[in-house]
Structure formats: C-alpha cells, structure tokens
Amino acid sequence: MDRKLGQPSPDQEDPVGDFLDYLLAARGVSPNTISAYRHDLDDFLAYLQRERIPFVLSAQRANIIAYLLELERKGRATATVARRLAALKSFFRFLKEKGAIEKDPTAHLETPRLEKRLPQVLTEQEIVALLSQPDTQTTAGRRDRAMLELLYATGMRVSELISLNVGDLNFEGQYVRCLGKGSKERLIPVGSVALQAVREWLDGGRGEFLHGRAERALFVNHRGRRLTRQGMWKILKQYATAAGITKPITPHTLRHSFATHLLANGADLRSVQEMLGHADISTTQIYTHLTSGQLKEVYERAHPRA
C-alpha cells in the first residue's frame, strides 16, 4: 500500500512534524502561525506527490522552482507565492541545520517582489459611528462596546484581545498586559473611555454570561466560554454594517486605524512600534505612508501656493 507523502516509514523521522514541533517549542510560534506553516507545507507535499517525488528530503531546487511557477500559473497572488517560499526556506534551513540534508535547495532563491498595499483604515468619524453601535442597555452590548473600545484604544490583534484574562487589565495604572507573537509580553496604555467601557462590562454583564462558572477570560460568550476569533469577527461585521461602513473591515482594521490616527496626531514612530508589538520598525513605517497622504491634503488646503 502506498504511503502518504510526508509520512515516513517507521524507521524514518517525520521532518515536517519535527519542524512544526521546533517552531512551537523552541521558537514560541503561535498556534495560528503553526497552522499556516502546516497548510503551506502540505500544499508542497501534495505537489511532490503529483510529481512522484518519493519523499520531501529528496526535493531539489528545480522541484521548488517548478512548484512556485505552478502557483503563478494557477493565478495565486504574489503574497501567497512569497509566503509559500518563506515557509519552504524556513523548513529546509531547519533540515540542513539538523543534518537531515546536505544542501538547502532553497538557498539564494529570491522572494517575489511584493507590491506595497496600504492597509485599510477607518476615518475618525467612522470609528465614532462604529463604537456607538452596541446597545449598552444589554449584556451583549456592554461586552461588545468594551471589546471594540479596547481594540481601538490599544491596537491589539484580535488573537491578543480574546486571550486577555481579567487580571491583565490594570485600572489604576491604566494599562493592559498583552501577550503577543512569540509569547512576548508588552504593556499598552489604555485610555479612560475604554477603561470605563470594560468596567461597565465587568460590573454589569460578565457575571450574567458566566452563570456561576469560574472563568479567567475577560471576554466570554453567552455560554460563559472564552470568546473565539470567529465570534469577534462576526460581531464586528454586524456593527460595521449597522454603522453604514462599506469598506472591507476586519479586527485588524481597528489596529491599522489605531496606528494611523496616533501618527497623524503627532505620536512618534518608536512609541507606536512598541505599542503594536512590531519587532522591526520597518513594519510600522507603512503607516507613515498613510499619514503623509493626509499631510498632503492639509498642505494643499492651507498653502497659498499649493
């Protein structure tokens, strides 16, 4: 019986499994990133199977180039091709360092040049409209208002928001302790409006959803369980529609808006980088392109020779 590609015989190791275990244990990579790596590597393994390559350790440089070209022929986005190559580079570099292969077939392969697409952001008026949608006379509305206010106040990722526990918020110090990518902890200031919204949720709603259960999660669903990413996305889209916002919107839109509005109102880049938890300031710099457009509008309105 044929063995599924990537699944070794009993006397062989599982290189893909070893790699994913390494990312999780040694590098502290998040489960979501692990899932993305698994998906990308499974796609490559499926390609090797179609090409009758006996095992992933047998893959050569030509096989990888042919795989990337196939992705392009299928119309995959440049960002997708670049991500797949990045996953393969990490995987084969791991195999070489481990001694499982002699040569890294991805060495010196260039990543496709990506077009810099500016992230979608909401205007300050759209933010006000969005945050005013939850009905704070209801338990769910108090929770939703608190979540939206906290997302916009801190620029947290949705995964970071739903991972918060009650003890992570310091009302006296006006900050939240956030566990980001790679399990790196950061402290983010929280404004008084968001703190008040969270306080109203804790004092007038969270207990109703818990039904007497013990739960550390700050935000819970009506069954008293920690809210999921999918649940948060559904809530956000519902309120965006109610607010008449026609732009494509995700929880990350609030993160982008947080950074853009801070920079537009005079915050320095390093502070925004720290609050967002970006390891490299070049990641934060994309928001300066957005604010420069706003500055151009101000200049054209105000300068007599514009």
Do the Cβ atoms of 45 and 68 come closer than 8 Å? no
CATH of domain 124-302: 1.10.443.10
Do the Cβ atoms of 246 and 260 come closer than 8 Å? no
Reported in sequence order, the residue ranges of the chain that DSSP labels E, i.e. its strands, are: 169-170, 175-179, 185-189
Mean pLDDT over all residues of the chain?
84
Q: pLDDT tens, 159-170?
A: 899 999 999 999
The residue extents of the domains of the chain are 15-98, 124-302
In the numeric block, which tokens belong to residue 75?
């119309």
pTM of the model: 0.60
Q: Is the pLDDT of residue 14 over 60?
A: yes
More confident residue, 164 or 271: 164
**21-54 b/e (C-beta count within 10 Å ≥ 16 → b):** eebeeeeebbeeebeebbebbeebbebbeeeebe
Other C-beta atoms within 10 Å of 263: how many? 21
Assign 211 a pLDDT band (cuts: 50, 70, 90): confident
In the numeric block, which tokens belong to residue 133?
């949608």
Q: What is the mean pLDDT of residues 256-265?
A: 86
Q: What is the mean pLDDT of residues 280-297?
A: 65
Chain centre to alpha carbon of residue 47: 28
pLDDT at 305 (0 to 100)? 54
Q: Is the pLDDT of residue 297 over 70?
A: no
Q: Is the pLDDT of residue 100 over 60?
A: yes
CATH of domain 15-98: 1.10.150.130
Is the dihedral angle over the CA atoms 90, 94, 100, 104 positive or is it negative?
A: positive
Residues noted as catalytic: 157, 181, 252, 255, 278, 287
pLDDT at 53 (0 to 100)? 87
Q: Is the pLDDT of residue 21 over 80?
A: yes
Backbone angles phi, psi at 102, to 5 degrees: -85, -40
In the numeric block, which tokens belong to residue 4?
């599924």
Do the Cβ atoms of 273 and 265 come closer than 8 Å? no
Q: What is the mean pLDDT of residues 146-166?
A: 93
Task: Please state the length of the chain.
Answer: 306
Q: pLDDT tens, 186-204?
A: 899 999 999 999 999 999 8
